[in-house]
Structures are given as structure tokens and as C-alpha cells.
Amino acid sequence: MIKFTSSEVRDLIIAFFVISLSFAIANVGRDPNAILNLLPFVMVGVGTGFILHELGHKFVSIKYGYWAEFKLWPQGLIFALITSFFGFVFAAPGAVYTYANYITDEINGKISVAGPVVNIVLALIFLAAATGIYPTALASETNITIFIICSAGYSINSFLALFNLLPIGNLDGAKVLNWNFGIWIVTIAVAGILTASYMTVGVENIIRLILGM
């Protein structure tokens, strides 16, 4: 059973809101109205992507018998907001800390890769949902909203997976690489392809290619 402390819940909520705001600013700039309009859509993508990413780490840690808890990194939140004004987000609001006297590289790698894998799976789910709704997206305002949310979910989760798999500092990628090069190269390649596709081709064009339109 996964248990949360009150401070952990607080930290998750703060990180969720600030990271959502950062992604909104990075996408539309400093226009307050545009930020407010985009924020609800971004929060769905970030909410599922960020929260489930951290829960992936926590769940695997608990599976191996360790206590794990998310802790906020205030400097990371500030840096995320600053970078968002330059059109990108350095998303490092905090991390799940696994408490253990000793942990092998294998277990540490499995705990670390869980988060990015969750993001990759979510990105593909959002892409499938966006593809399914696309033919009827113009039929109603609700369908358009769903399409926008799914498109944002795809792009945000793709980016979160790629970013966290970078083999630098305390990011997940360094621990996964230290454990298994093959798994690291496959996961970062998939995340890289997903991220590059929406940055270069665009989500709508990806969907049109899938549908043969």
C-alpha cells in the first residue's frame, strides 16, 4: 500500500502547480490571458505526467521494500519558472527519495527508469486518444478541447521522459545508464523520437500521417 505524508502531499501540489505554470509560460509567453487559457490544458498533461512519474518511482521503491517520499526542491522550481520565459522548461521541481542503507545499481536503475517509462506510456496513450478524436475534433467545442488536452499531454510527457533520461547529475538517466546501457539507450531513443516528432512535425501532422490524411 502506498502511503503519503502530509508534507509530501503539500510538496507534490506545489510542484504540480509551478511546473504547470512554467509549461504554460514556455508555450505562450508572458501574455496573462493566454497563460490562463492554456493552463487548464497543461495541468492535465503535467498532472498525469508529473504525478504518475513520481508515483512510478515510489511504487517500485516500495515494491523492493524501501520507504520512498517525494521532496520539493525550491531552487528547481525557481529555475523552472526562469527558464520558461526563454521558451523551455528545466523541469526539476523535486524528487522521490528512497531511504535504504544499501541499494544495488540494478534496483536503483529499475526505480529510476520507472518514471520515464510511465511518461512514455502516457505520451502514447495521449497520442492514441488525440488520433481517435481528431476526425471529429471540429464537430463540437468539447471535442476540440479533448484534442488540445491530448496533444498537450503527448508533448509534455514526451519531453518529461527525454529530459529525465539525460545521463547528467541526479537525473534518472544517470542511474539507468549506470545499471544497464541497453535499457537506457532504448528508452532515451524512444523518448527522443517522440519529442523530436512533435517539435519538428507537430502533433496534428503526426496524427494526419497516422490516419493517412
Measured CA to CA in angstroms, residue 39 lies from 32, 47, 53, 210 at distances of 10, 11, 20, 28
- Our answer to whether residue 54 is catalytic in this structure is yes
Around 140, how many Cα atoms within 13 Å sit in the side-chain half-sphere?
A: 4
Q: Which residues pair with 69 in a beta bridge?
A: 97
Q: Which of 8, 54, 106, 204 is catalytic?
A: 54
For 78, residues 6+ apart whose C-beta sits below 8 A from its C-beta are none
> Can you name the residues that pair with 99 across neighbouring β-strands?
67
- Whose grid coordinates read 505562450? 28
The full DSSP string for 134-151 is GGGGGG-HHHHHHHHHHH
Active site residues: 54
